[in-house]
Amino acid sequence: MSSELAFRCLVLDHDDTTVLSTPEVNYPAFLDTMKKLRPGVHYDYETFIDYCCDPGFEPFYRNILGFTDSEMKYEFDNWQEFVKRTIPEAVPGLGEIIKKYRSAGGKLFVVSHSYASNILRDWQHDFDMQPDGVYAWELGEGKRKPDPYPLLDIMKNNGFAPQDLLMVDDLKPGLDMSRTAGVRFAAAGWPRQSRKIEELMRRESDYYLNTVKDLEDLLFSI
């Protein structure tokens, strides 16, 4: 490992931390689904991301919107169609930072509620590279965030201690996962956020990153 790195391992969320998924894919898919399943019911962008932050994506659909199992399947299939035809743009400037980080000896992992195939597609398209490992939606309940399993498994399989890792995410599930695993957490403040989410993340995170330049400064702070 290069001595210039403050953290040996960088763990990134995918949606809105690495690529602009919500404005380009997830929210348009949500609006389309609501037209079919809950016509006349509307949630604006900020309310949508608030609920995706807390209580989280699945509780929002099941408990607040009251989606049945068949409606959840429709929502998933419809979202997948949006995902297939749209590769979200990378967060500007992030690609250069993660390439610099890897060149300096850092390890890169993704922990996300997206599917692994979508994550790998986006990384190849946007960065022309692949992460060292992906912990995605396929893990299932009990292993996907906010459960600490992904971070614990990264540490176990790579000989890392909690202080070697930095988790970067824009929403609460990543924060909760990091807290449980004893890993330092940096909130990605660059996606479009509501005031409620920004206040929560500023208050609870170890670091609040307003820009990707803040991430670069943190990673190479030694």
pLDDT reading at 196 higher than 80: yes
Output the pTM of the full model. 0.90
Tens of pLDDT, residue by residue over 7-48, are 999 999 999 999 999 999 999 999 999 999 999 999 999 999
> Whole-angstrom Cα distance, residue 64 to residue 75?
15
pLDDT of residue 191: 84
Domain boundaries 9-20+89-219, CATH class: alpha beta
What sign does the dihedral 109-114-115-121 (CA atoms) show?
A: negative
